[in-house]
Chains A and B, each alone.
Chain A
Amino acid sequence: MNAWLTAEVVESAWQARAQRAWFGWLRFVRNPLALAGLAIIVALAVVALFAPWIATQDPFAQELTQRLQPPSAQHWFGTDQVGRDLFSRVVHGSRITLYIVFLVGIIVAPIGLAVGAIAGYAGGKVDTVLMRVTDIFLAFPSLVLALAFVAALGPGLLNAVIAIALTHWPGFARLARAETLVVRSSDYIAASRIQGASALRILLRHVIPMCMPSVIVRTSLSMAGVILTAAGLGFLGLGAQPPSPEWGAMLSSGRRFLIDYWWMPTFPGLAIMLVSLAFNLLGDGLRDVLDPRSE
């Protein structure tokens, strides 16, 4: 396997791609912080996937005799004001966090990429119109716009996700457009045009692959902000609704218990911080690997 990955003479397109990915991975792994970020996110995914088995108890089971218990052998993170096990709630909350991150990512990146690349490549009126639309969305502070959408659409997790996505895509569009403008005047694009390539082919096979590294890095770095925004919405009661164990909502309801029962807001808060940090580290690591290649 190792021989196949490091072979001098490459026999197929598939092997070439695999080798490229392998060398990219080796470069990534040289950065311990980036690796730590990746590890945390993988752990998040594992915890979310196996939540029912990792959680020690039912996250919704109220046990009023066990209210506000500090961390112990039975309740690793303690209990909340209605006696629910905090550890299990945090673990199940990871599913919600992952859901938010994933959904926002797959909405925002493709839309932003498409709008930006088309605007950048087409130029002229198309560019102007698309960029003004982008500017309109960019003009609103993200939390405020999210609040407005949620107020219009009603509270709930899916609406919160849509609201967050709507505020984040313009940044990607700007980025993709900037990359496209640089790429557009390259000789390899000129060569494709001389061969008779259509604009669609050039966009899909030439321009977008060159935008991908920046978009990937930005996606990872944005996720940190997305998680915080979602937590903010949850905090204000506009995201996931009770009794859902969303971390931001838990932070909100635990706020007034901070002084005497510190464990209530602290553990969800730590979880938010840890995952945000992990996405930031991963994004930085990806940027070192993907961006200007000094090969």
Chain B
Amino acid sequence: MSFLDVRNLSVSFGRPGDRMRAVEDVSFSVAQGEAYGLVGESGCGKSTILRAVSGLNAAWTGSISLEGTALTPRRTLEQHRRVQMVFQDPYGSLHPRHTVDAILGEPIAIHGMGDANGRIQRALDQVGLGRAFRFRYPHQLSGGQRQRVAIARAMILEPRLLLLDEPTSALDVSIQAEVLNLLSDLRRDRGLTYLLVSHDLAVVAHMCERVGVMRQGKLIEETDAAAIRAGRVGEAYTRRFVEASAGYDRAMAQEWETA
């Protein structure tokens, strides 16, 4: 039995008569403790899938199951506890008027968990931020520090599934390395399962075992990181995507022109 099972997921936007299918009949599953990557270019629907799985978007059809139980479009508090998310923009995912302490204390208050002080302290330690950061405001933190706070916030509820929406796209290379290492360590130490969405194939290949390639709302290919690195991919689009991600090559561009 797979940990996360997505079957025939479809999401549409817009009014009747003017509907746009953002995600069309997508199915995939993620095993427990695995990291699954969804890659694709802008508008492919990968972020929409994430929002549906997270419960932010309730207007989907199909089924999403976590550890055997189906997730309802409108989530219960308990379902929220099991699935958490880290967002792309470290500057937008923390409330500008709340201190780190308030940001981390909120999930504790919502779920009625005790020992707020201890939990906040441990969460900060877990992501490598010291006591000095506890009462800072987001504008006093760097991008990497904000992202660590966002990760701490996601971890504080002890979720089973962590959704990552381009978690390092807005960070410098050196900071990205730290955050990706942190995420790898957390997954290993706490037995988490990841669903990672990114347009950066190198990041996905580094973090994930299996990868789903999306294009215009459809899941066109499922493969694994090793195959991508070796260039053993089936679809022509995937091949282009992999080659383009490796860097610029004039000959490759020429090939596409004439294709």
A/B contact in complex, CB under 8 angstroms: yes
Interface residues of A (CB under 8 A from B): 8-13, 15-16, 20, 186-188, 190-197, 201, 205-206, 209-210, 293, 295
Picked from A16, A194, A201, the residue with its CB within 8 Å of the CB of B54 is: A194
User: Do A13 and B80 contact each other (CB < 8 Å), given the known contacts A190-B56, A195-B107?
Assistant: no
Interface residues of B (CB under 8 A from A): 54-56, 75, 77, 80-81, 83-85, 87-89, 92-97, 99, 101-102, 106-107, 110-111, 131-132, 134-137, 139, 150, 153, 157
CA–CA, A64 to B100, complex, Å? Answer: 69
Contact of A16 with B153 in the complex, beta carbons under 8 Å? no
**Closest beta carbon of chain B to A14's beta carbon, Å:** 9
Contact residues in B for A196 (Cβ distance below 8 Å): 75, 77, 80-81, 107, 110-111
Contact of B139 with A194 in the complex, beta carbons under 8 Å? no
Contact of B102 with A194 in the complex, beta carbons under 8 Å? no
**Closest beta carbon of chain A to B100's beta carbon, Å:** 9
Contact of A195 with B137 in the complex, beta carbons under 8 Å? no
Contact residues in A for B84 (Cβ distance below 8 Å): 194-195
Contact of A187 with B81 in the complex, beta carbons under 8 Å? no
Contact of B99 with A194 in the complex, beta carbons under 8 Å? no
User: Do A187 and B93 contact each other (CB < 8 Å), given the known contacts A11-B135, A12-B135, A196-B77?
Assistant: yes
Contact residues in A for B56 (Cβ distance below 8 Å): 190, 193-194
CA–CA, A188 to B91, complex, Å? Answer: 9
Contact of B87 with A13 in the complex, beta carbons under 8 Å? no
CA–CA, A196 to B74, complex, Å? Answer: 10
Q: Which residue from chain B places its CB closest to the CB of A295 in the assembled complex?
A: B139
Picked from B94, B106, B137, the residue with its CB within 8 Å of the CB of A197 is: B106
Contact residues in A for B102 (Cβ distance below 8 Å): 13
**Closest beta carbon of chain B to A21's beta carbon, Å:** 12
Contact residues in B for A20 (Cβ distance below 8 Å): 137
CA–CA, A24 to B153, complex, Å? Answer: 28
Contact residues in B for A193 (Cβ distance below 8 Å): 55-56
Most chain B beta-carbon neighbours within 10 Å: one of A20, A186, A209: A186
**Closest beta carbon of chain A to B79's beta carbon, Å:** 8
Contact residues in B for A197 (Cβ distance below 8 Å): 106, 110
Contact of A194 with B55 in the complex, beta carbons under 8 Å? yes
CA–CA, A187 to B146, complex, Å? Answer: 13
Picked from B93, B96, B131, B132, the residue with its CB within 8 Å of the CB of A191 is: B93
A/B interface sample: 20 pairs, CB < 8 A: A8-B132, A11-B135, A13-B99, A13-B135, A16-B99, A16-B136, A187-B92, A187-B93, A188-B92, A193-B55, A194-B54, A194-B55, A194-B83, A195-B106, A195-B110, A195-B111, A195-B157, A196-B75, A196-B77, A196-B111
Contact residues in B for A205 (Cβ distance below 8 Å): 106
Contact residues in A for B157 (Cβ distance below 8 Å): 195
Picked from A187, A293, A295, the residue with its CB within 8 Å of the CB of B89 is: A187
Q: Which residue from chain A places its CB closest to the CB of B78 in the assembled complex?
A: A196
